[in-house]
Each structure stands twice: as structure tokens, then as C-alpha cells.
Amino acid sequence: MNASSGTDTGPVARPWLLPGWRDRAVAVVDAQLALAGLRRTGPVEDVKRWSLSVVLRCPTSGGAVFYKQSLPSLAHEGRVLSLLAARRPGLVPAVVAPDAPPNDGWCTREVHLRPGSELPHDARGRALAVLGGVQRAWLGRTAELAATGCWVRTARALADMVPAAGRSDLFGPASGLPGALSAQEQRRLSDACARLPELCAALAAAPPGETLVHGDLHPGNWGVARASGRIVLLDWAEAAIGHPFLDAVAALRSCPEPGARARALDRYFASWSALMSPAQCRAVWRLAEPIAVFNQIVTYMHFLDAAEPDERPGWAPRLLWWARRLPRTVDDAVRG
């Protein structure tokens, strides 16, 4: 996926804004339940409705079910969930009707969780270690991942996206965004981006290889199942093919304790011990961190491009936070 996508603009991209959508969505829910031998036993409730997706919930004869429909560029999530659930049950919410067309939305079974945002900071290491095990299993299987339509965020693909970070409508004083970069910050961003292709080339040659990337593993997107105590990974809308270490920056962004961040990284690196030593992991992480930050910039550029004018101010702080972080991480990687 490029930095922006025309498929995500206009009313067709967000059918939940069109008249009659809810009735059509309920019909889709009923059809998918029927494929699984289930039926609805109560009304459909709105859970979330925003610029990227809409989520509904309803009780059924087999327990509560969530229905989700997303922007076209995020519709691969249903296929990714189906793929993961088939190979490792319990890792993700089970998809009710795996063969249903994902562009119509998909239904998943409710999982009662204690969200990661309510757990101690050290629990992030456990979530990253679980993800590391999943990523090891998908090394060398990128063709299967590509068939889901997930994004391509390999080091080489990200290098090709670097010129987009020079856009004056997103970066710098002329952007008009709240909290816009100053002219000095914009120059620092430009200088950092000039070093990214070199770092991307090095990461492309680094172990362990390309695999599945979650894309947004913040503590709200994973939790511990109350029944089993297992980690469950949620919201694969930004799933991609890329270097696995891209996932660490989002997982640790909101962790305020340096010690907890270091322990979480050590636990994640330990999940790769069959393939890489801790020293190798740390060396590769120095290369990967700025590219992982740039990956977040690319994602938020896309969401800003897809946003309606009144939505852009809400996305700006996320984009600009990562833009301000990039120069420091590039400096750290170059110093080695």
C-alpha cells in the first residue's frame, strides 16, 4: 500500500454514512450467522463509528458477536484474522464466517478480555513475545500473507515511500495542521529522511527476514483472556508484510518507564533466540527503530489523506508525534 489510497475517499469508501446502511449491515450479520449455524437473539447495538470503521455487536444463539466494516484499504483484516485463527485458535477472535466477502464486513466472536491498557507496563513484553512467536511461524510465508491483501511495508517498499515525507501540506508551518512542525523541525525531518534509504537497505539484508507485522500493537489492541489467561491480539487492520521489529515502536510508545521498555524489548528479543542472539537483536533493532517510526508516519499520512476536512485535526497529533521522533532515532542508528 502506498502512502495514500484513492480507494478510501468518497462516500462509497464509508458506506456506513449512506442512507439505509444499517439495515443492510444487519442483513449481512444475519447471513454470516446463518453460515455458522447461528441466529441473532437480540437487537444489534452500535459499539463504535468513526472515520476508519464501524463496529456493531449483537447477542446470538452461540454467544455475542461483533461485526466490523472498514475502509477498503483496511478490509484485509477479516482475511488476516481468518488465516491466523485457522492456524492458532485463541490467538485472535474467531471469525464466524471465514468465507464471507470481507468488503461486506466480518463477524467475530466476543472474547472477554482484560485489556493491556489495564495491565502493568511489564505485560507488554509478554504480548510482544507472543507476537514474536507468531512472526517466527510466518517467516518465508509472505505469499500467503500477500493473498489476504495486507499492506506491504518491507524495508524496500518503505524506502520507495520516503519522498512522500517531503509534503508541505502535512509537514512544516504551511501545513495548517494544529501543532505543525516548525521550519527547523521540518528541516530536521528532511535531513533524517535523506538517511532512511541507506538504513532501509541495511534492514532489508538483516535477519530474521520478512514476515507478518501487526502494525499497531498498542495496549488497547491486545489483552488477556479472562477464561484462559492467554494473550489475544486484536485489531489487525494495519497488518502488513515487513520486518518483524517494526512492531516494537507502537507497542512501547506509551510506556513511560525506560526500565519497563528495556525489559519488554529483551523479552521480545528472547522470542527470537532460536534464530538470533540478543546482541544480534539489539544491533538489528538500532537499524529497525527509525524505519519502524517512519512506517507509523506512512500509516498516519494515509489516514490523513483519507480523512474528511473536519477529521484532519484529530489525526494530526499522531502523525506529528512520529515525525518529531524520527530525527532522533535516525541519529541513534547512524551513530550505531
Q: Is residue 1 part of a domain?
A: no
Write out pLDDT tens, residues 17-68. 999 999 999 999 999 999 999 999 999 999 999 999 999 999 999 999 999 9
Q: Looking at the structure, do residues 196 and 64 belong to the same domain, yes or no?
A: no
Does residue 153 sit within a domain?
A: yes
How far apart are alpha carbons 250 and 324 in whole angstroms? Answer: 15
Q: The domain spanning residue 167 has which CATH number?
A: 3.90.1200.10
User: Residue 55 falls within a domain, yes or no?
Assistant: yes
The residue with cell 483472556 is 225
Cell of 242: 515487513
DSSP string, 4-32: --GGGSSGGG-GGGSTTHHHHHHHHHHHH
Residues 245, 194, single domain; the answer is yes
- 107 neighbors 95 (Cβ within 8 angstroms): yes
Short-list 273, 5, 2, CA closest to 133: 273
What whole-number distance in Å separates Cα of residue 142 and Cα of residue 171? 33
On whether the CB atoms of residues 164 and 172 are closer than 8 A, the answer is: no
- What domain count does the chain have? 2
Same domain, 159 and 254: yes
Asked if residue 163 and residue 96 are part of one domain, the reply reads no
Tens of pLDDT along the chain (336 residues) come to 444 344 888 778 999 999 999 999 999 999 999 999 999 999 999 999 999 999 999 999 999 999 999 999 999 999 999 999 999 999 999 999 998 887 799 999 999 999 999 999 999 999 999 999 999 999 999 999 999 999 999 999 999 999 999 999 999 898 989 999 999 999 999 999 999 999 999 999 999 999 999 999 999 999 999 999 999 999 999 999 999 999 999 999 999 999 999 999 999 999 999 999 999 999 999 999 999 999 999 999 999 999 888 999 999 999 999 999 999 999 999 997
Residue at a domain's end among 110, 144, 178: 110
> Is 68 in the same domain as 175?
no
Q: Is residue 308 part of a domain?
A: yes
Per DSSP bridges, beta strands 65-70 and 53-58 are antiparallel
Q: Are residues 302 and 229 in the same domain?
A: yes
- Name the grid cell of 325: 521522533
Domain that holds residue 307: 115-335
Q: Choose one of 110, 142, 174: the last residue of a domain.
A: 110
Determine contact, residues 147/288, Cβ cutoff 8 Å: no
Specify the pTM.
Answer: 0.96
Same-domain pairing of 137 and 33? no
